[in-house]
């Protein structure tokens, strides 16, 4: 079977991880411009000042994407390029940059899929409380409207936020991302709610503009599975899925937060400050979501947590590998002997993607979905100057097979975006961990080179995945 004609084969990036040009053409400072320079926060002190210089090389990069046959490029817009202080004046140079980038995609027939927020928050807003302050939600809505009006004639696919769980959890529970706050569940849940009302208002505004494109949000998709049949571990997995899936997906797709979590938040005094009006906004916005984006890297194998210990909030503990207790100490994620893992300890499990998609269909029906990120973080093998990233090919192949199977089962999946189109800055792992189809030589002027996976993905796209 070939993939259906309306299925998009894409690849993704994010502004802070590729652009560089951190202080050029009127861009304002962001939380990450500051945070990444605090000693010890990132791997070997890496930051996005230059990143892979996509800001200056986007033409070369998009030409390579076109050569690969890429059908869609998911990129993110840096809010601080558009509105440098978050909610004040518009920076025309910022608009110009994304106009050029979008036009360059369209020149080759590549569908631009734009994310409005992939974690780089204007510093002025961060200093004023960031996502804890509803000023940030309002500012986001204003910024989103500026983008819809400037780019909406050509951008017909919008994602409001990328992975709320990650920037809120790492921002307010482990402290590994800005604003670097540790162990503050009250703030964590507040930040999430403030993001969701910003999302809800932004999609309502988008629909009013009648640009006839589609809009949604992207969440991490990390379904939890019990390590065995013991009732206490099954309960732990249920708890994990309520806090990690339902808490995020329900308010977007059903318009209300899940009862199970709500009840516990109330008992613990963690309920966000919200108004009836905001809860109503979530309800009325829910049916307006055109799709949900899923970033799938790994599932979680969980068991009841029976070790009462203080969490150590190190950077290493925040880079995604299992082996930690949940923030509320109810469950623990574990590595299992019979599973396969990447060099960074992330489980490789295409079968769990398929199983998870079935769970989503059962809970949320036929909602349209895109895999907006999926890929292998690796230290790629280089043999005689060639980047032979066979493990990446095997990884993506297996996951695309799962996607194909899901489509055959009637799951409404409309695209797959590999993470990432080009090697880029990993927030906490620097440049050592690579994801791209295109290699960037940090020892030679950031020169681009096609990896083995580049040619492989090109072929997959050409034959629309028939031989997968
Ligand atoms: C996702 C993010 O969480 O995972 C990306 O959306 C990120 O921005 C990717 O790069 C991979 O994470 P890491 O830690 O391996 O770079």
Q: Which DSSP state fits 220?
A: E
What average pLDDT does range 74-99 have in this prediction?
98
Indicate if ligand 1 lies below 6 Å from the C-beta of 425: no
Indicate if ligand 1 lies below 6 Å from the C-beta of 14: yes
pLDDT at 306 (0 to 100): 86
Domain 8-294+351-462 = CATH 3.40.50.300: no
429 Cα–ligand 1 center, Å: 9
158 pLDDT higher than 70:
yes
219 pLDDT higher than 70:
yes
pLDDT at 319 (0 to 100): 82
67 pLDDT higher than 90:
yes
CA distance linking residue 49 with residue 44, whole number of Å:
14
CA dihedral 223, 184, 194, 98 (to 10 degrees): -80
Q: For residues 13 and 421, is the Cβ–Cβ distance under 8 A? A: yes
What average pLDDT does range 186-203 have in this prediction?
98
Q: Which residue has its alpha carbon closest to ligand 1 atom 11? A: 426
435 Cα–ligand 1 center, Å: 9
Query: Could you tell me how many residues make up the chain?
Result: 468
pLDDT at 468 (0 to 100): 95
426 Cα–ligand 1 center, Å: 6
Indicate if ligand 1 lies below 6 Å from the C-beta of 75: no
Indicate if ligand 1 lies below 6 Å from the C-beta of 19: no
Task: Provide the ipTM.
Answer: 0.99
269 pLDDT band, cuts 50/70/90, is very high
Per the annotation, does 118 bind a ligand? yes
Domain ranges of the chain: 8-294+351-462
134 pLDDT higher than 70:
yes
pLDDT at 411 (0 to 100): 98
Q: Which residue has its alpha carbon closest to ligand 1 atom 8? A: 14
What average pLDDT does range 137-142 have in this prediction?
98
307 pLDDT higher than 90:
no
pLDDT at 314 (0 to 100): 79
% of the chain at pLDDT higher than 90: 96
Per the annotation, does 17 bind a ligand? yes
312 pLDDT higher than 90:
no
Per the annotation, does 297 bind a ligand? yes
What average pLDDT does range 148-159 have in this prediction?
98
Indicate if ligand 1 lies below 6 Å from the C-beta of 426: yes
382 pLDDT higher than 90:
yes
pLDDT at 310 (0 to 100): 65
Q: For residues 295 and 219, is the Cβ–Cβ distance under 8 A? A: yes
Work out the mean pLDDT of the chain and round it to a whole number: 97
Q: Which two tokens stand for residue 19?
A: 């652009």
311 pLDDT higher than 70:
no
DSSP readout, 412-465? -EEEEEEE-SB---BTTTBTTSB--SEEEETTTTTEEEE-HHHHHHHHHHHTTT
What average pLDDT does range 388-406 have in this prediction?
98
What average pLDDT does range 302-329 have in this prediction?
85
8 Cα–ligand 1 center, Å: 21
Distance of CA 254 to the CA centre of its chain: 21
Per the annotation, does 117 bind a ligand? no
Indicate if ligand 1 lies below 6 Å from the C-beta of 429: yes
248 pLDDT higher than 70:
yes
Q: For residues 32 and 48, is the Cβ–Cβ distance under 8 A? A: yes
Catalytic residues: 163, 373
């Amino acid at each position: 079977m070939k993939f259906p004609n309306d299925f998009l084969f894409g690849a993704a990036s994010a502004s802070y991880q590729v652009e560089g040009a951190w202080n050029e053409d009127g861009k304002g400072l962001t939380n990450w411009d500051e945070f990444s320079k605090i000693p010890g926060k990132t791997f070997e002190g890496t930051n996005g000042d230059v990143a892979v210089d996509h800001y200056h090389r986007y033409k070369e990069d998009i030409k390579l994407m076109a050569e690969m046959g890429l059908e869609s490029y998911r990129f993110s817009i840096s809010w601080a390029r558009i509105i440098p202080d978050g909610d004040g004046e518009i920076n025309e140079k910022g608009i110009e940059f994304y106009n050029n980038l979008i036009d360059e995609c369209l020149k080759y027939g590549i569908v631009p899929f734009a994310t409005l927020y992939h974690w780089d928050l204007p510093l002025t807003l961060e200093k004023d409380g960031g996502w804890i302050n509803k000023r940030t939600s309002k500012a986001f809505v204003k910024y989103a409207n500026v983008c819809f009006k400037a780019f909406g004639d050509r951008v017909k696919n919008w994602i409001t936020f990328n992975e709320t769980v990650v920037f809120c959890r790492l921002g307010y529970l482990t402290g590994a991302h800005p604003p670097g706050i540790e162990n503050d569940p009250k703030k964590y849940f507040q930040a999430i709610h403030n993001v969701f009302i910003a999302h809800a208002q932004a999609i309502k505004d988008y629909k009013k503009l009648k640009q006839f494109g589609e809009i949604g949000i992207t969440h991490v998709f990390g379904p939890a599975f019990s390590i065995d049949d013991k009732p206490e571990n099954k309960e732990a997995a249920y708890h994990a899925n309520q806090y990690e899936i339902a808490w995020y997906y329900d308010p977007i797709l059903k318009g209300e937060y899940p009862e199970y979590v709500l009840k516990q938040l109330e008992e613990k005094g963690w309920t966000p400050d919200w108004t009836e009006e905001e809860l109503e906004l979530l309800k009325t916005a829910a049916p307006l979501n055109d799709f949900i984006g899923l970033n799938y890297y790994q599932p979680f194998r969980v068991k009841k947590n029976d070790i009462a210990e203080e969490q150590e909030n190190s950077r290493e503990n925040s880079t995604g590998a299992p082996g930690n207790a949940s923030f509320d100490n109810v469950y623990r994620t574990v590595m299992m002997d019979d599973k396969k893992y990447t060099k960074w300890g992330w489980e490789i499990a295409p079968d769990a993607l398929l199983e998870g998609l079935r769970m989503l269909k059962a809970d949320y029906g036929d909602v349209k979905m895109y895999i907006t990120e999926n890929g292998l973080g690796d230290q790629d093998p280089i043999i005689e100057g060639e980047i032979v990233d066979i493990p990446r090919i095997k990884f993506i192949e297996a996951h695309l097979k799962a996607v194909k199977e899901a489509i055959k089962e009637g799951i409404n999946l409309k695209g797959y975006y590999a993470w990432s189109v080009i090697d880029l800055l990993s927030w906490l792992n620097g440049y050592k961990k690579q994801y791209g189809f295109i290699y960037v030589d940090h020892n030679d002027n950031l020169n681009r080179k096609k990896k083995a996976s580049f040619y492989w993905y090109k072929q997959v796209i050409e034959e629309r995945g028939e031989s997968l």
